[in-house]
Structure 1
Amino acid sequence: MLRMSKLADYGTVITTAMARDPDAVHSASSIAAATGVAIPTVSKVLKVLTRGGVVESLRGTNGGYLLPRPPEQITLAEVIAAVDGPIGMTECSTQPGLCIQEAACAVRANWQRVNRVIYEALHQVTLADMAGPTLRAVDISAIRARSVPNRRAGATPLVRKTNDGGNA
């Protein structure tokens, strides 16, 4: 199964909570209370998100964390990449030279194409979308047109014969 890390998931939960009140300075404890994520985990994720530039940290008595840009300008791709690093379905999807089979791999180009589709979909969803009541539909028609090969002209679909001689 392909999935992002639990910390990246927490990163999306935390930044979405912050996006619901984007002008506020949030404390780790207030975010923990709003999300149900334990304070130590919230603190750890906020530090990682700060290093990744997705949130800013303010020191002092009125310190805490805030979003450096409006929620409409911060994408899920940015949040996930800040926590997990470059988004990649396989090792070779993000950086060449990590796989010993790379030079002779017959599926590498296709995995890179899958990776681009997933990245583009995550790049279309913002924190404002996540903070809203429902997620808007992601327009993948342009991605689908580039990425999914059309059935060859004249190709017939596979037909499976049933025991009674009919088609299934």
Structure 2
Amino acid sequence: MRLSNLADYAVVTMSAAARHCGGARTSAGELAAETGLPAPTVQKVVSKLTAAGLLRSTRGAGGGLQLARPAAAITLADIVEAVEGPITLTACIDGHDCAVDHSCTVKRHWPMVNAALRGALAGIPLTRLSVEAV
């Protein structure tokens, strides 16, 4: 399994936003400058993260972006799902057609595998990802 570039960028963006936690609000432009990501990409990611309720955007003077809840209450699973949707390893779990669905002996086990993967990602809070290397 590999995260999409957009999911990776969402993690990087949220990590940068978390470093502003408790301070002044930030902007998508500032996050782009801090992360080295292109501003249009950060804006797209910020839009998805805001829609998922992970970031809060305030307009006007003194406005900007801030985490919608404490960094410790946001997990890697939350961030990935905000961009990718539910964490599933196979298409058959999402209700997509499968050529071997009628004879598949593994399908009933995929929910357990997906839950284990999601659980692992849910066990990593944003606070662990936002610590700068020393």
Question: Is 2:28 aligned against 1:25?
Answer: no
Instruction: Give the number of equivalent residue pairs.
Output: 131
Residues in 2 aligned to 1:117 and 1:110: alpha-carbon distance in whole angstroms:
11
Quick one: distance in 2 between partners of 1:105 and 1:58? 49
Q: Which residue of 2 aligns with 1:104?
A: 103
Give the 5 Å matches for 1:47-86: 47-86=47-86
Match of 2:37 in 1: 37
How much does 1:104 deviate? 2.7
Q: Which runs of 4+ in 1 moved over 4 A?
A: none
* Largest Rg, 1 or 2: 1
Matched residues in 1 for 2:92 and 2:77: separation?
18
Query: C-alpha separation between the residues in 1 aligned to 2:132 and 2:102?
Result: 46
Q: Cα deviation per residue 1:106-132 (whole Å; 9 max; x = unaligned)?
A: 221333322111100000001101112
1:115 matched to 2:110? The reply is no
Structure 1 unaligned spans of 5+? 135-168
Q: TM-score, normalised by structure 2?
A: 0.89
Structure 2, unpaired ranges of 5+: none
Pick closer, same or farther for the CA change 1:133–1:60 going to 2, 3 Å.
closer
Secondary structure of residue in 1 paired with 2:82: helix
- Give deviations 1:7-40, integer Å, cap 9, x for gaps: 1110000001111121231111110111010111
TM-score (norm 1): 0.72
Point out the structure with the larger helix share: 2
Identity of aligned residues (%): 40
Q: What amino acid sits opposite 2:76 in the alignment? A: L
